[in-house]
Structure 1
């Protein structure tokens, strides 16, 4: 009886450990691994075993900025099982990652949380970080922008419920210009919207203020220009992405 009491407060209770076969992924990948469960000092009934794929984004109010968690995937592995004292169970899983998940560039966290639901007990949990690298289409755009003389200054996930995506945030890539663009531009911001068949790229081209009219335009936020284009897998081999982006920027400067 005393052991059952201790298990109910987390002492000598079952433990869970998720082991990922690959913790470096790109959006749309298949994430595979195993959930290892080790029984504690007494038998326990587990009502649910779940995996949650989550990230965090910034949300601003009038007087503060705070972080919220967004669960992108809530995956149930098993329902109701009993684990005996010191028993070891291994539950394999295969999880399709969303195309809309953010990259971990700039310190954006993406992680898998594993949990066991046990009645009248502290639920055992485990947390594993993922590295989310750019999809090949994203990598091509980032590479082209850098070749045009921009350097990546900041990456942020910001609340943007009005954007209409799968999640209540967007990931913004902010570039600062050097070289030929250091004079006419303040910054270049990019948002990716990846799907199974194409990449939508949204660009915000922020022109540097020029004289009184330029200052007035900047004050009224009408100096910001927007552009949109799409890339498919065939464009990786057939399209000069650098030249195309250069043309888009130039067209918004005149």
Structure 2
């Protein structure tokens, strides 16, 4: 989206700004680039700063129910301290680094329904004005993609994805929210769990994979949630048998049901997540077995794409994105939780 907006604080004839993002999806911890295009108004203007805000649409659970809102999770000042002459055209290129925990918005080119945007704030002579949001896409890191492909090859399907406001206890989480990718169970687990929720917490050194199983009740015990954490390195993406690794994670998670209470299974915090999760490590040194990543897209992993297995209606995603980018400007600065 390219927006052009006259600054309300300057009135008619003030500077206008277009923010244009490069049409390439980024990755967590990678660069987001583009340029801010300024056009001078009917008089010279002192530009104090040009600031980019990264904004996410998140869900928050309160005692009054679940609510949606926008959260600013990073700010970058990319220029400032210059005079924009009357009618002058100026382009300010930028390249900023996304936080490592930036949510993934697409998988194999398919939208997951997660909405992220860049909002440009222009400070002019003591005033500031925030323009519309420009959406941007984030594809998974190689190790994130490898884990999701393994789920797909094991028979799990994509159900939905969302951003939850809050923190997962016992992890190194940095942002004030986390992403949950909800998967429908593979046939071999369909009678034992309702769904599996996957959260990636990336960092320069690797990845924390937090798994939560919404479990079915049975003859020998009730239902409930089971959680586990696993740490993997970025260098393990191409040298790990992820089908075997992920299957082991799920088997251990499901089998933990009997030991969930009174046998060391983690307690839960206010957000329903473990305060002391199990910590495991992926096994490096294994040769990757089965089809390669490209083949996996056409095979089981394609089931994780939106609309294939989860029944997510594309129109609903479009409506949600549209509501966010059309309506966010009316929300006050009080939504900034960063």
TM-score of the pair, normalised by structure 2 = 0.66
1:77-116 equivalent positions in 2, closer than 5 A: 77-105=78-106, 106-116=112-122
Q: What does residue 168 of structure 1 align with? A: 176
Aligned counterpart, 2:259: none
Return 88-97 or 230-239, whichever deviates more: 230-239
2:121–2:128 Cα contact (<8 Å) kept: no
CA displacement at 1:140 relative to structure 2: 0.6
Whole-Å separation in 2 of the counterparts to 1:162 and 1:198: 17
Larger gyration radius, structure 1 or structure 2: 1
Q: CA RMSD in A?
A: 2.2
Contact 1:18 1:35 in 2 (8 A): yes
**1:194 deviation in Å?**
0.7
Whole-angstrom distance in 2 between the partners of 1:55 and 1:202: 21
Residue 188, structure 1, aligned to residue 196, structure 2: yes
Kept after mapping to 2: 8 A contact 1:51/1:115: yes
**Counterpart among 130, 134, 144 of residue 128 in structure 1:** 134
Gaps of 5+ in 2: 1-6, 107-111, 256-338
Output the CA distance in 1 between the equivalents of 2:165 and 2:125.
35
Kept after mapping to 1: 8 A contact 2:26/2:138: yes
By how many angstroms is 1:73 displaced?
A: 1.8
Structure 2 residue 64 is matched with structure 1 residue 56: no
The structural deviation recorded for 1:246 is 0.9
1:144–1:35: structure 2 CA closer, same or farther, 3 Å change rule?
same
CA distance in 1, matches of 2:168, 2:193: 27
Task: Evaluate the alpha carbon distance shift between residue 252 and residue 88 of structure 1 in structure 2; reply closer, same or farther with a 3 A threshold.
Answer: closer
Output aligned runs, 1:4-23, within 5 Å.
8=9, 10-23=11-24
| Higher relative strand content | 1
Q: Secondary structure at the match of 2:53?
A: strand
Q: Aligned with 1:250: secondary structure?
A: helix
Q: Is the 8 A contact 1:7 1:121 kept in 2?
A: no
Aligned residue for 1:252? 253
Residue-pair matches, total: 242
> Runs of 4 or more off by more than 3 Å in structure 1?
6-10, 119-122, 161-164
8 Å Cα contact 1:172/1:190 also seen in 2: yes
Tell me if the contact between 2:32 and 2:98 (Cα under 8 Å) persists in the aligned partners.
Answer: yes
How far 1:165 moved relative to its partner? Answer: 1.9
